């Protein structure tokens, strides 16, 4: 029997507060709006929400520039509203985790205001201040968001350091007072009863205190230009090494792991609290129990093509690298990257592709994080009017396109929109009502609503439709919740030579349960040999009759079919032996506490699909007559598809950089009578032009007294902490 923590079982749902639901009619989402939709989330099967920053902020980086860590932005509500939301969520057994921005504050934060006021202020050393050198900044480091990492402050005649925007000065984590103050922030929210944190940009917290000049042989703008022009892999490899050299003193310094261990010890004192890091680096799991609980599987999210070979290679690499006790975490989208359907949709099979992406999240081993709107198939909205841009990154890239690359205005706007992050932050689409029901009619939402809410991409319509994407998510989440093998079973790949179908087993040795997952990721029929001398019973399928039994020697799958099977009750157990030959390096198994870490097998090169093999993205090609709208991801290493079916190298961009230009293709003309300033999704039949962009960028028992009731202390019926899992069959 296996005991799981709540964050291992829960489906997480990321909410961008500004865009979820506007309760007070000002066009801006708010906490009360979220609270009013908790029933929706509960019905969907969501058991935890991650709230993007809800703190007061001047909004230069749309909340990631925090001006007060212990409060609520006035446009989102009050601390009282927050408490109400937390209580109501907990009442529904929905946990709440917050976004914790440790690396930097807003330049409007009182700490920084004090720090910049005079050189001898006690808070001066809370930030990184240095004298200039030779009439310029202290060294030649760059900000990942463009320009020097140093900003001169004439008031005191020194420079301060910022990894992100200049309005986001980096805190000096080498000063114990900073750690003390931030840990107080952590305690403040934990005392209120929140259930954990998503840690923003963890890799950037420390930088080399000696401030050595980086020795990259070109400037960042030159590098960007060269990267843009690079066409072959060797050149990109060379440029990539240069980029690593450029930022080597600013990212992933070893000190950050000491801090993570301290933070883990702090939260452990509060009981079953979770820390999830905005990083893909498995090193942040520490020894599996002493740093972060969860680290995102960003390499899967960033895969330019989602093929069976890509998923298998991804699972093999990630699971083999997990330390004992560590738990995987999968996601297909967030507020920094293109929406999953804009990334992988091909304009012809979007309905099916959305289901495949959902099925991956809900059946692979690990905690799934869904991004708001993904469950109804929301897509990127590419703004075509520069004045509507909210994300400064989009505007910055527009300028780079114009000034560095000489791109004509109209094209530069589109490129800026694709580079920026407004595209994936548009209001949640609740209904066919005006403004998609996000805010009242006649009110201008803070970002335009995607017009496809009128075409069924909205909650109300999909609740009525038994075959909708939303219904699919609800069914599969329910199945996941009641199927122990799907929650906790080891991952055993099957039919590994199939180019079309991804087939694997989730197998729970403790209780003998198992679930066979098969998805045909191609538009043609697939035939896979399983050679399992057993029968399966269909649990869930897009094509088969549920409850029907069949021999598992082979599987014939319809195009894009998704089928889950359990062992036939008349023939139970034999699935357990599947894939056991040489399974040591083939299966990802939830490691037992205290088990020895085995060295990961060498990463296997995924099979090369034959010509014509379908992935979830078509091979890149320019839509006829619209060359410039095509994704130019080859500019960016992360978007380079590599050999067909291969994963992009996991090469450690700092959280979210560089972004890639992609998203839905822009049609040549705006629709007649359409809303100015946006470009809608392609019609069926349009060629895909999108590929993924990278992301940005055992606890001790019982909370201390004074904590508000966290569900850990009031487990839901049948979902108690550490509830022994029962077999499903
Ligand atoms: C990562 C966040 O996801 C992104 O939105 C933000 O701009 C940077 N960190 C800086 O906080
Ligand atoms: Ca509002």
pLDDT tens digits for range 538-572: 999 999 999 999 999 999 999 999 999 999 988 76
pLDDT over 70 (residue 663): no
Q: Which of 203-212, 476-485, 648-657 is least confident?
A: 648-657
- Given ligand 1 and candidates 55, 107, 164, 393, which is best to mutate, with the most ligand atoms within 8 Å of its CB? 164
- 304 and 203 in one domain? yes
Q: Quickly count: other Cβ atoms within 10 Å of residue 602's Cβ.
A: 9
- Choose the most confident range, by mean pLDDT, from 91-105, 572-586, 669-683: 91-105
- Ligand 1 neighbour 653 (Cβ under 6 A): no
Q: What's the pLDDT at 230?
A: 81
With cut-offs at 50, 70 and 90, classify the pLDDT of residue 574: low
The pTM of the whole model exceeds 0.75: yes
- 456 and 493 in one domain? no
Q: What's the pLDDT at 622?
A: 24
- Ligand 1 neighbour 64 (Cβ under 6 A): yes
pLDDT tens digits for range 256-309: 999 999 999 999 999 999 999 999 999 999 999 999 999 999 999 988 889 999
Judged by DSSP in three states, 96 sits in strand
pLDDT over 70 (residue 644): no
- Ligand 1 neighbour 496 (Cβ under 6 A): no
Tell which of 598, 619, 637 closes a domain: 598
- 459 and 532 in one domain? no
CA of 328 to the centre of ligand 1 (A): 22
- 432 and 500 in one domain? no
- 534 and 449 in one domain? no
- Ligand 1 neighbour 164 (Cβ under 6 A): yes
With cut-offs at 50, 70 and 90, classify the pLDDT of residue 597: very low
- The answer to whether residue 427 is domain-embedded is yes
Mean pLDDT, to the nearest integer, of 195-217?
Answer: 97
Q: Which phi-psi region, left, alpha or beta, contains residue 289 (left: φ > 0; alpha: ψ -120 to 50)?
A: alpha
Q: What's the pLDDT at 721?
A: 24
Question: Among all ligands shown, which has an atom nearest to the Cα of 298?
Answer: 1
- 333 and 438 in one domain? yes
Mean pLDDT, to the nearest integer, of 605-614?
Answer: 30
Place of tokens 């994936």: 424
pLDDT over 50 (residue 673): no
**In angstroms, rounded to a whole number, what is the distance separating the alpha carbons of residues 487 and 663?**
32
- The answer to whether residue 462 is domain-embedded is yes
With cut-offs at 50, 70 and 90, classify the pLDDT of residue 581: very low
With 0-12 / 13-18 / 19 or more C-beta atoms within 10 angstroms meaning exposed / middle / buried, residue 299 is buried
With cut-offs at 50, 70 and 90, classify the pLDDT of residue 135: very high
Mean pLDDT, to the nearest integer, of 325-344?
Answer: 97
Mean pLDDT, to the nearest integer, of 663-688?
Answer: 36
- Given ligand 1 and candidates 103, 694, 697, which is best to mutate, with the most ligand atoms within 8 Å of its CB? 697
Residues 6+ apart with CB under 8 A from 135: none
- Ligand 1 neighbour 511 (Cβ under 6 A): no
CA of 149 to the centre of ligand 1 (A): 16
pLDDT over 90 (residue 718): no
- Ligand 1 neighbour 373 (Cβ under 6 A): no
CATH at residue 434: 3.20.20.80
- 412 and 356 in one domain? yes
Length of the chain as a residue count: 729
What 8-state DSSP symbol labels residue 461?
Answer: H
C-alpha torsion angle, residues 356, 362, 363, 367 (rounded to 10): 140
Q: What's the pLDDT at 284?
A: 98
Point out the ligand 1 atom lying closest to the alpha carbon of residue 52: 3
pLDDT over 60 (residue 713): no
Point out the ligand 1 atom lying closest to the alpha carbon of residue 104: 11
- The answer to whether residue 624 is domain-embedded is no
Point out the ligand 1 atom lying closest to the alpha carbon of residue 145: 7
Q: What's the pLDDT at 233?
A: 72
Question: Among all ligands shown, which has an atom nearest to the Cα of 24?
Answer: 2
Which two structure tokens, joined as six digits, stand for 171? 């805190």
With cut-offs at 50, 70 and 90, classify the pLDDT of residue 624: very low
- Given ligand 1 and candidates 336, 337, 419, which is best to mutate, with the most ligand atoms within 8 Å of its CB? 336
Q: What's the pLDDT at 287?
A: 98
Tell which of 549, 573, 598 closes a domain: 598
- Ligand 1 neighbour 694 (Cβ under 6 A): no
- The answer to whether residue 575 is domain-embedded is yes
**pLDDT above 70 covers what percent of the chain?**
78
With 0-12 / 13-18 / 19 or more C-beta atoms within 10 angstroms meaning exposed / middle / buried, residue 266 is middle
Q: Which residue owns the Cα nearest ligand 1 atom 10?
A: 64
CA of 575 to the centre of ligand 2 (A): 52
- Given ligand 1 and candidates 204, 655, 657, which is best to mutate, with the most ligand atoms within 8 Å of its CB? 655
- 205 and 80 in one domain? yes
Q: What are phi and psi of 678, to 5 degrees?
A: -140, 165
Q: Which of 122-131, 345-354, 694-703 is least confident?
A: 694-703
Which two structure tokens, joined as six digits, stand for 634? 């080859």
Q: How many domains does the chain have?
A: 2
With cut-offs at 50, 70 and 90, classify the pLDDT of residue 576: low
Strand order from edge to edge, sheet including 549-551: 490-494, 501-508, 513-520, 562-567, 535-541, 549-551
Mean pLDDT of the chain: 82
CA of 259 to the centre of ligand 1 (A): 20
Residue-by-residue DSSP string for 669-728: SPPTTPPTTEE-PPPTTPPP----------PPSSPPTT----GGGSPPTT--TTPPP---
pLDDT over 90 (residue 331): yes
Tell which of 568, 598, 628 closes a domain: 598
Q: What's the pLDDT at 651?
A: 24
Q: What's the pLDDT at 71?
A: 98
CATH at residue 534: 2.60.40.1180
Mean pLDDT, to the nearest integer, of 321-329?
Answer: 97
| β-bridge mates for residue 13, sequence order | 49, 370
Residue-by-residue DSSP string for 175-195: SHHHHHHHHHHHHHHHHHT--
Q: What's the pLDDT at 228?
A: 66
| β-bridge mates for residue 32, sequence order | none
Per DSSP (E only), the strands in 32-148 are 48-51, 95-100, 129-130
- The answer to whether residue 326 is domain-embedded is yes
- 526 and 440 in one domain? no
CA of 594 to the centre of ligand 1 (A): 35
| β-bridge mates for residue 565, sequence order | 516, 538
- 370 and 308 in one domain? yes
Q: What's the pLDDT at 229?
A: 75
- The answer to whether residue 698 is domain-embedded is no
- Choose the most confident range, by mean pLDDT, from 395-399, 520-524, 579-583, 596-600: 520-524
- Ligand 1 neighbour 371 (Cβ under 6 A): no
- Ligand 1 neighbour 170 (Cβ under 6 A): no
Place of tokens 């999830």: 276
| β-bridge mates for residue 277, sequence order | 199, 295
Q: Give the active site residues.
A: 200, 278
- The answer to whether residue 348 is domain-embedded is yes
- Ligand 1 neighbour 48 (Cβ under 6 A): no
- 513 and 460 in one domain? no
- The answer to whether residue 701 is domain-embedded is no
Residues 6+ apart with CB under 8 A from 692: 301, 302, 303, 304, 337, 338, 343, 344, 638, 639, 660, 662
- 492 and 370 in one domain? no
C-alpha torsion angle, residues 492, 495, 498, 500 (rounded to 10): -70
The answer to whether residues 635 and 400 touch, using CB atoms and an 8 Å cutoff, is: no
Place of tokens 């883990």: 264
Q: Name the residue range of residue 572's domain.
A: 488-598
Q: Which residue owns the Cα nearest ligand 1 atom 11?
A: 64
- Ligand 1 neighbour 277 (Cβ under 6 A): no
Q: Which residue owns the Cα nearest ligand 1 atom 6?
A: 64
């Amino acid at each position: 029997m296996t005991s799981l923590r709540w964050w291992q079982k829960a489906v997480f749902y990321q909410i961008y507060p500004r865009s979820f639901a506007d309760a007070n009619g000002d066009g801006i989402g708010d906490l009360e709006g979220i609270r009013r939709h908790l029933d929706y989330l509960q019905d969907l099967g969501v058991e935890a929400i991650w709230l993007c920053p809800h703190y007061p902020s001047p909004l230069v980086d749309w909340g990631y520039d925090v001006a007060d860590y212990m409060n609520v932005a006035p446009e989102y509500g009050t601390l009282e509203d927050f408490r109400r939301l937390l209580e109501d969520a907990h009442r529904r057994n929905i946990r709440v985790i917050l976004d914790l921005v440790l690396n930097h504050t807003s330049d409007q934060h009182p700490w920084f205001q004090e720090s910049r006021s005079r050189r001898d202020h006690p808070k001066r050393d809370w930030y990184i201040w240095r004298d200039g050198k030779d009439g310029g900044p202290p060294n030649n480091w760059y900000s990942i968001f463009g320009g020097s990492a140093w900003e001169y402050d004439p008031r005191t005649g020194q420079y301060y350091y910022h990894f992100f925007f200049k309005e986001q000065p980096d805190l000096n984590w080498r000063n114990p007072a900073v750690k003390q103050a931030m840990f107080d922030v952590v305690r403040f929210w934990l005392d209120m009863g929140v259930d954990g944190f998503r840690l923003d940009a963890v890799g950037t917290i420390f930088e080399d205190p000696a401030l050595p000049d980086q020795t990259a042989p070109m400037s960042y703008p030159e590098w960007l230009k060269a990267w843009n022009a690079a066409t072959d892999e060797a050149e990109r490899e060379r440029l990539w090494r240069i980029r690593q050299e450029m930022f080597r003193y600013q990212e992933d310094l070893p000190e950050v792991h000491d801090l993570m261990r301290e933070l883990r010890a702090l939260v452990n004192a509060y009981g079953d609290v979770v820390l999830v890091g905005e990083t893909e680096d498995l090193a942040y799991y520490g020894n599996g129990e002493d740093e972060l609980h969860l680290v995102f599987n960003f390499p899967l999210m960033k895969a330019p093509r989602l093929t069976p070979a890509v998923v298998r290679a991804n699972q093999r690499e990630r699971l083999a690298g997990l330390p004992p006790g560590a738990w995987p975490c999968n996601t297909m989208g967030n507020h920094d990257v293109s929406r999953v359907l804009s990334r992988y949709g091909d304009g012809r099979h979007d309905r099916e592709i959305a289901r495949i992406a959902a099925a991956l999240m809900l059946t692979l081993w690990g905690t799934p994080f869904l991004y708001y709107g993904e469950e109804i198939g929301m897509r990127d909205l590419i703004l075509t009017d520069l004045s509507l841009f909210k994300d400064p990154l989009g505007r910055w890239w527009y300028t780079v396109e114009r000034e560095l690359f000489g791109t004509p205005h109209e094209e530069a706007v589109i490129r800026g929109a694709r580079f920026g992050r407004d595209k994936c932050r548009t209001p949640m689409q609740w209904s066919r009502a005006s403004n998609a029901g996000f805010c009242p009619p006649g009110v201008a939402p803070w970002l335009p609503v995607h017009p496809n809410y009128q075409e069924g991409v909205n909650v109300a319509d999909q609740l009525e439709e038994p075959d909708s994407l939303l219904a699919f998510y609800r069914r599969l989440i329910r199945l996941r919740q009641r199927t122990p093998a799907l929650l906790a079973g080891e991952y055993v790949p099957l039919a590994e030579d199939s180019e079309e179908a991804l087939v694997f087993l989730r197998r729970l040795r403790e209780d003998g349960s198992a679930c066979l997952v098969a998805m045909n990721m191609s538009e043609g029929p697939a035939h896979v040999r399983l050679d399992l001398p057993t029968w399966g019973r269909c649990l869930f399928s897009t094509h088969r009759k549920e409850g029907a039994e069949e021999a598992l020697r082979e599987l014939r799958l319809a195009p894009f079919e998704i089928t889950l099977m359990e062992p036939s009750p008349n023939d139970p157990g034999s699935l357990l032996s599947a894939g056991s030959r040489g399974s040591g390096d083939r299966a990802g198994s939830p490691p037992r506490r205290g088990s020895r870490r085995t060295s990961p097998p060498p990463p296997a090169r995924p099979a090369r699909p034959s010509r014509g093999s379908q992935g979830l993205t078509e091979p890149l090609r320019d839509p006829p007559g619209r060359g410039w709208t095509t994704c130019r991801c080859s500019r960016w290493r992360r978007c380079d598809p590599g050999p067909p079916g291969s994963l992009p190298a996991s090469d450690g961009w700092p959280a979210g950089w560089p972004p890639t230009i992609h998203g839905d293709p822009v049609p040549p003309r705006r629709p007649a009578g359409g809303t100015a300033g946006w470009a809608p999704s392609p019609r069926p039949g349009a060629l895909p032009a999108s590929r993924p962009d990278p992301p940005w960028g055992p606890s001790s028992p019982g909370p201390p007294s004074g904590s508000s009731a966290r569900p850990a202390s009031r487990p839901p019926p049948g979902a108690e902490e550490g509830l022994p899992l029962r077999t499903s069959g």
